[in-house]
């Protein structure tokens, strides 16, 4: 059941050195990607811990994406190793508590992969539209 | 259902004066003005950020309320970004205020420390405005950490020294090249001044550690506990003696205080400044 | 556990008598003969009140971080799980081994605790403690179970649909009042200032009727202890609302072992799995990105 | 003239309450995952509904007390939204009338103690509104429960001053005797439903004389003597500094005021706070008048056995036994009363 009118809110934590550069390149390259995305620039994908992801869902995000450098390319050497270790565990917790872990997407996107950034945002937005609005982890005192 | 005492009313900021790098004095006109005693406080609030109790630094009888606020935390930080014309929540007055009746006809010794001069200023100005009721000698002993931290320049160097029989003594904790006044802590300064406890009431307000030693020094200088008045400051949330946190023994500082005679404090078992 | 109690009293009396230690931290009979409670003996006479039985479950090691213990030479009664928590705090330089006299006890398992039924570290290693009191009566309720058998509820929850799982945990978390007993009783939750106690910035909102805030607290706390949990079972035992937190921690530990190999906090050496990361670890977000 | 009525079974009474759901929301004691507490009838499973009778007529209170009906764990009292620099407050929908079935004598007394604080000037309107809109139906205990000491605090387990008294008649019968106008009004509405009959009130035992009741005066003085006793440091050594004892104590009424906002909207709410947390008194400048756990623990017991007596004339404890049962390390009011000794009882 597709929610035609529903426009999902997608919060993307983009690592400054790779994914943010990729998103920037997509922009300068006139590659269109859905404007549902709200990009938050982080020094490294490992800056994002469980509390930031949950805070995004609390504030009404329908999907959270963490985009970092490909393992091995991290500007800080081991940053994305921590990210993948932490996020696979967070996804398990979300799943165990019934909070639909597929709304948390982790993707490695390097500085020159503008098309990969565009494709990821498009597919994730489509999936989120399919899943519909996300209420399970939202703080009900603030509007969507 | 009666009105909820915790609901603030609106107040417009009508003037802002920077006393120092981290203290600003705000003049606020509440929608419904309320009269107050010197030494009473009011809750200032910014919806979404927080609420805190501040002493009213303007004397009673004005058509505005003044608050001097030092930047120490989240709310005070936000208050410091207010501009003239902004709205702020306000409710009060809270606390018992200074015993203005008992002070009539007495010599008054005001002892302030840092931002602690704010509640005293309300009393000093009230006494100056009603000099006939308070004909005695006025002495102010006011200390701050540094020269830049001395607040209310307009009063301590401007109006008050010009008042009849009003002796102003200022001190700073750290020396400064063009400071020729006393350097050291207020309790030490008291011992050097000529203070005559006879028919004099000492009123003090400042950081807890200063109050602790000022009270000791005043007693040493012959002031009986009944002639020493102090204020205490605890974390306060409701301001109406119900939320339970600001108790000193069984007294709620927001309702039974913040002003206490030393004679009352000596009956209290708990030490307000451990 | 009667023999251990007698041996414990004897050791404690000797230690206090010779003032080799300032105090002995152990257990004593609770009021109304319910579970035994933590107890501090400071004189040889008080040592006679010490006891150890299958309700001496409270983890005692965290008290050592309190100012009232820091300057004292302390003797401490340690079950297998308690020893693991103490070892971790020593390795993390939070407490001084030199200030401690460790009295290990061979534990037969606390009453109705799934952790104890599947525990593989019943008593502290002899070389890790100053004295090891053991009692070879096999009457303890030790029916060794595998982790799967001891925590059947985890499979039951995993088999539920996503909505059923959400409803289950929503019902549990909605009873939570955030009294923080689970955190204060947890021997491995030892940050100097807990992020939930910070006021500026306040990471968590104090509302007790918002499921999102309860989820935030319980997910992050179980996250923080996932590679430190020593399986003492206190979190679930102390919760006044009966929230089965041990399932959350056990599930997370199981996931961690599945992804990154088994690690026994307080047994294997530091660093714990989540505090380091390497190139050759499996990458679950590589090709597929899901 | 209070008209006692009889219901054939408790289930019949519950069904009647369901039919009155558009006017009253009814709460009853039951258990969920092994923890007893009050839950609305409209959100109960079948098993929970069947567990009501046993929980309501047990000789011990539920884990959660009725305090939370009047002083909820969290309560929004301002809702606002912000456009630019202008802040606008929105209307909050009020609460409808509610019925609490099965409140115990100790919990009812604890609400009376909190009344002394919240209904004193300036009256706490949030609390007062809930007090006025709630009908309390008491169920007494047969005798003092295993972990309870209500008698020591002048509370008889067989007497309760509530709007209605619910007692077991012969067999499965339930007898309802109104004691206030609110109770009387509910009885009228129940009678109108036609499934109740007028009955003779059951003899209410007068409750035995205060057999070993503590004298508030004596306890207060004894506490003053114990101010510098090593007891507080001793208890504080094993105390965990958590909030269980204060959140589950029916007479604890301390609260915090907090703001929650996201971008341009938010709320200000009141929520339970605990004097056992250091943030309770920790000030922005870093000064904390009660810095150690021993200070806080002493303050908590002093408030109940000394300060409240000095301010309100009564001990702030109803002997419900929750602190003894729920404290993870076994510290409770009796740990202090033991130290106070025997000679403080009403002669």
| pLDDT, tens digit (0-9, with 9 covering 90-100), for C256-273 | 999 999 899 999 999 999
Quick check: B146 and B174 in contact, CB under 8 A?
Answer: yes
Chain C touched by D69 (CB under 8 Å): no
Chain A touched by C290 (CB under 8 Å): yes
Residue C144's pLDDT is 75
Q: What is the pTM of this model?
A: 0.94
**Among C137-151, C154-168, D41-55, D287-301, whose mean pLDDT is lowest?**
C137-151
Which residue from A minimizes the CA distance to D264? A142
**What percent of chain C has a predicted confidence (pLDDT) above 90?**
77
3+ Cβ–Cβ pairs closer than 8 Å linking A and C: yes
Residue C138's pLDDT is 54
CA D297 to CA B269: how far, in whole Å? 15
Instruction: Give the residue from B47, B64, B94 where a domain finishes.
Output: B94
CA B28 to CA B88: how far, in whole Å? 8
Q: Is residue B22 part of a domain?
A: yes
Domain ranges of chain A: 10-131
**Among B84-93, D23-32, D338-347, whose mean pLDDT is lowest?**
D338-347
Q: Are residues B209 and B225 in the same domain?
A: yes
Return the residue in D30, D95, D240 with the most chain C beta carbons within 10 A, the one to mutate for interface testing: D240
- Do the chains contact at D76 and A141, CB–CB below 8 Å? yes
Residue D205's pLDDT is 65
pLDDT digits (tens, 9 = 90+) for B110-163: 999 999 999 999 999 999 999 999 999 999 999 999 999 999 999 999 999 999
Q: What is the mean pLDDT of each run of 10 residues along chain A (144 residues)?
A: 79 95 92 93 96 95 96 93 94 96 95 94 95 94 78
A136 contacts in chain C (CB < 8 Å): 166
Chains that touch D (3 or more CB pairs under 8 A): A, B, C
Interstrand relation of C74-78 and C23-28 (parallel, antiparallel or unpaired): parallel
Quick check: B53 and B236 in contact, CB under 8 A?
Answer: yes
Q: Is residue B156 part of a domain?
A: yes
Return the residue in A54, A58, A141, A144 with the most chain D beta carbons within 10 A, the one to mutate for interface testing: A141
Nearest to B4 among D126, D302, D311 (CB): D126
Mean pLDDT of D80-108: 91
Residue C289's pLDDT is 42
pLDDT(D1) > 80: no
Cα of first residue to Cα of last residue in chain D, in angstroms, is 37
Q: Is the ipTM of this complex over 0.90?
A: yes
Q: Is residue B63 part of a domain?
A: yes
Residue D143's pLDDT is 80
Residue C287's pLDDT is 61
Name the minimum distance, in Å, from the CA of B31 to any CA of chain D: 15
Which residue from C minimizes the CA distance to A82? C277
Q: Is residue B116 part of a domain?
A: yes
Instruction: Give the residue from B60, B75, B94 where a domain finishes.
Output: B94
Chain centroid to CA D101:
13
Instruction: Give the residue from B75, B94, B113 where a domain finishes.
Output: B94
Q: Are residues B107 and B73 in the same domain?
A: no
Name the minimum distance, in Å, from the CA of D261 to any CA of chain A: 8
Which domain covers residue B152, as residue numbers? 100-231
Q: Is residue B238 part of a domain?
A: no
Inter-chain Cβ pairs, chain A and chain D, closer than 8 A: 16
Chain C touched by D161 (CB under 8 Å): no
pLDDT level of residue D159 (50, 70, 90 thresholds): confident
pLDDT level of residue D344 (50, 70, 90 thresholds): confident
C168 contacts in chain A (CB < 8 Å): 98
Return the residue in C67, C200, C206 with the most chain B beta carbons within 10 A, the one to mutate for interface testing: C200
Domain ranges of chain D: 5-198, 216-271+288-340
Mean pLDDT of B44-62: 95
- Do the chains contact at D265 and A139, CB–CB below 8 Å? no
> H/E/C letters for each residue in chain D?
CCCCEEECCHHHHHHHHHHCCCCCEEEEEEEECCEEEEEEHHHCCHHHHHHHHHHHCCCCCCCCCCHHHHCCCEEEEEEEEEECCEEEEECCCCCCCEEEEEECHHHHHHHHHHHHHHCCCCCCHHHHHHHHCEEEEEECCCCCCCCCCCHHHCCCCCCCCCCEEEEECCCCCEEEEECCHHHHHHHHHHHHCCCEEECCCCCCCCCCCCCCCECHHHHHHHHHHCCCCCHHHHHHHHCCCCCHHHHHCCCCCCEEEEEEEECCEEEEEEEECCCCCHHHCCCCCCCCCCCCHHHHHHHHHHHHHHHHHHHHCCCCCCCCCHHHHHCCCCCCHHHHHHHHCCCCECC
Q: Is residue B48 part of a domain?
A: yes
Q: Is residue B120 part of a domain?
A: yes
**Residue B67 sits in a domain of what CATH number?**
2.40.30.10
- Do the chains contact at C242 and D324, CB–CB below 8 Å? no
Q: Are residues B106 and B211 in the same domain?
A: yes
Q: Are residues B144 and B223 in the same domain?
A: yes
D73 contacts in chain C (CB < 8 Å): 177, 208-209
Chain B positions contacting chain C at CB under 8 Å are 73-74
Q: Nearest Cα to D282, choosing from C201, B235, B250?
A: B235
How many separate domains does chain B show?
A: 2
Residue C288's pLDDT is 47
The total of other beta-carbon atoms located within 10 Å of residue D94's CB is 8
- Mean pLDDT taken over chain B: 95
Mean pLDDT of D302-318: 96
pLDDT level of residue B34 (50, 70, 90 thresholds): very high
CA C174 to CA D33: how far, in whole Å? 12
3+ Cβ–Cβ pairs closer than 8 Å linking A and D: yes
Residue D94's pLDDT is 85
Which residue from D minimizes the CA distance to A139? D262
Of residues B260 and C32, more confidence is placed in B260
Residue B172's pLDDT is 96
**What percent of chain A has a predicted confidence (pLDDT) above 90?**
93
Residue D210's pLDDT is 56
A141 contacts in chain D (CB < 8 Å): 76, 260, 262, 266-267
Chain D touched by C228 (CB under 8 Å): no
pLDDT digits (tens, 9 = 90+) for D182-222: 999 999 999 999 889 998 888 766 656 556 889 999 999 99
The total of other beta-carbon atoms located within 10 Å of residue C77's CB is 25
Q: Is residue B263 part of a domain?
A: no
State in words which class domain A10-131 has: alpha beta
pLDDT level of residue D97 (50, 70, 90 thresholds): very high
C195 contacts in chain D (CB < 8 Å): none
């Amino acid at each position: 059941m597709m929610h035609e009118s529903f426009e999902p809110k997608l919060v993307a934590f983009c690592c400054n050195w790779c994914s943010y550069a990729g998103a920037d390149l997509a922009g300068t390259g006139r590659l269109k990607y859905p404007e549902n995305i709200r990009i938050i620039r982080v020094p490294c994908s490992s800056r994002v811990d469980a509390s930031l992801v949950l805070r995004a869902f609390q504030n009404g995000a329908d999907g959270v994406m963490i985009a970092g450098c490909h393992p091995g390319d991290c500007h800080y050497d081991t940053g994305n190793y921590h990210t993948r270790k932490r996020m696979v565990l967070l996804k398990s917790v979300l799943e165990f508590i019934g909070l639909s872990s597929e709304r948390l997407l982790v993707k490695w996107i390097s500085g020159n992969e503008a098309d990969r950034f565009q494709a990821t945002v498009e597919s994730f937005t489509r999936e989120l539209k399919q899943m519909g609005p996300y209420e399970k982890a939202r703080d009900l005192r603030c509007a969507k | 259902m009666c009105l909820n005492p915790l609901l603030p009313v609106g107040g417009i900021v009508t003037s802002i004066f920077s006393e120092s790098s981290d203290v600003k004095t705000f003049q606020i006109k509440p929608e419904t003005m309320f009269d107050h005693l010197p030494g009473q406080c009011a809750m200032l609030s910014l919806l979404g950020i927080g609420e805190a109790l501040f002493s009213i630094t303007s004397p009673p009888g004005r058509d505005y309320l003044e608050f001097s606020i030092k930047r120490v935390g989240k709310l005070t930080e936000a208050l410091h970004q207010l501009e003239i014309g902004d709205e702020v929540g306000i409710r009060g007055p809270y606390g018992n205020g200074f015993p203005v009746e008992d002070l009539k006809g007495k010599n008054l010794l005001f002892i302030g420390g840092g931002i602690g001069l704010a509640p005293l200023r309300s009393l000093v100005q009230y006494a100056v405005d009603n000099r006939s009721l308070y004909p005695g000698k006025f002495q102010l002993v006011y200390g701050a950490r540094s020269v830049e931290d001395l607040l209310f320049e307009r009063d301590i160097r401007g109006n008050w020294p010009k008042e009849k029989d009003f002796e102003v003594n200022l001190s700073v904790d750290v020396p400064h090249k063009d400071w020729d006044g006393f350097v050291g802590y207020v309790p030490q300064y008291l011992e050097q001044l000529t203070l005559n406890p006879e028919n004099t009431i000492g009123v003090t307000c400042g950081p807890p550690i200063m109050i602790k030693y000022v009270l000791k020094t005043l007693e040493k200088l012959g002031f009986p506990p009944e002639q020493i008045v102090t204020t205490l400051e605890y974390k306060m949330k409701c301001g109406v003696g119900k939320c339970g946190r600001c108790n000193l023994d069984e007294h709620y500082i927001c309702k039974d205080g913040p002003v206490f005679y030393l004679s009352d404090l000596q009956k209290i078992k708990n030490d307000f400044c451990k | 556990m009667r023999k251990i109690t007698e041996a414990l009293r004897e050791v404690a009396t000797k230690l206090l008598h010779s003032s080799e230690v300032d105090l002995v931290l152990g257990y004593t009979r609770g009021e109304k003969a319910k579970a035994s409670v933590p107890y501090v003996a400071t004189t040889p006479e008080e040592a006679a009140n010490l006891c150890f039985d299958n309700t001496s479950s409270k983890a005692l090691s965290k008290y050592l971080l309190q100012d009232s213990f820091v300057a004292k030479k302390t003797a401490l009664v340690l079950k297998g799980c308690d020893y693991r928590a103490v070892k971790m705090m020593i390795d993390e330089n939070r407490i001084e081994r030199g200030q401690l006299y460790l009295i290990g006890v061979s534990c037969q398992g606390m009453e109705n605790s799934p952790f104890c039924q599947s525990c593989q570290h019943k008593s502290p290693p002899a070389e890790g403690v100053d004295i090891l009191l053991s009692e070879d009566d096999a009457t303890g309720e030790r029916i060794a179970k595998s982790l799967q058998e001891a925590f059947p509820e985890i499979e039951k929850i995993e088999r539920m649909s996503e909505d059923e799982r959400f409803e289950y945990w929503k019902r549990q978390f909605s009873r939570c009042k955030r009294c923080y007993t689970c955190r204060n009783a947890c021997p491995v939750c030892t940050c100097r200032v807990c992020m939930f106690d910070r006021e500026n910035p306040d990471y968590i909102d104090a509302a007790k009727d918002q499921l999102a805030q309860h989820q935030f607290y319980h997910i992050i706390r179980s996250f923080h202890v996932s590679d430190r949990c020593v399986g003492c079972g206190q979190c679930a035992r102390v919760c006044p609302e009966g929230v089965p937190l041990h399932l959350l921690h056990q599930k997370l530990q199981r996931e961690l072992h599945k992804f990154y190999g088994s690690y026994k906090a307080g047994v294997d050496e530091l660093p714990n799995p989540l505090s380091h990361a390497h190139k050759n670890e499996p990458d679950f977000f590589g090709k597929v990105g899901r | 003239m209070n008209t006692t009525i009889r219901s054939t079974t408790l289930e019949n009474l519950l069904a009647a309450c369901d039919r009155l759901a558009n006017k009253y929301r009814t709460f009853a004691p039951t258990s969920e995952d092994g923890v007893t507490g009050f839950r609305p009838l409209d959100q109960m499973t079948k098993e929970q509904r069947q567990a009501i009778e046993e929980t309501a007529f047990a000789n011990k209170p539920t884990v959660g007390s009725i305090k939370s009906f009047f002083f909820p764990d969290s309560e929004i009292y301002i809702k606002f939204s912000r456009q630019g620099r202008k802040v606008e407050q929105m209307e909050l929908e009020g609460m409808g009338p509610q019925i609490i079935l099965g409140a115990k004598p100790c919990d009812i007394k604890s609400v009376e103690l909190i009344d002394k604080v919240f209904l004193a000037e300036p009256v706490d309107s949030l609390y007062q509104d809930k007090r006025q809109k709630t009908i309390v139906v008491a169920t007494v205990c047969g005798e003092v429960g295993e972990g309870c000491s209500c008698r020591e605090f002048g509370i008889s387990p067989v007497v309760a001053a509530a709007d209605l008294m619910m007692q077991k008649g012969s067999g499965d019968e339930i007898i309802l005797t109104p004691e206030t106008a609110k109770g009387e009004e509910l009885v009228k509405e129940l009678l109108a439903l036609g499934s109740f009959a007028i009955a003779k009130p059951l003899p209410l035992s007068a409750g035995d004389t205060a057999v070993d009741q503590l004298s508030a005066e004596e306890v207060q003085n004894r506490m003053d003597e114990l101010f510098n006793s090593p007891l507080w440091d001793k208890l504080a050594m094993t105390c965990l500094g958590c909030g269980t004892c204060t959140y589950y104590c029916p007479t604890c009424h301390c609260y915090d005021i907090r703001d929650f906002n996201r971008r341009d909207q938010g709320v200000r709410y009141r929520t339970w706070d605990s004097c056992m947390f250091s943030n309770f008194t920790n000030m922005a400048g870093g000064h904390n008048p009660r810095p150690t756990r021993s200070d806080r623990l002493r303050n908590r017991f002093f408030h109940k056995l000394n300060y409240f007596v000095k301010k309100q004339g009564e001990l702030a404890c109803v002997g419900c036994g929750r602190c003894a049962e729920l404290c993870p390390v076994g510290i409770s009011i009796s740990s202090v009363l033991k130290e106070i000794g025997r000679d403080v009882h009403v002669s």
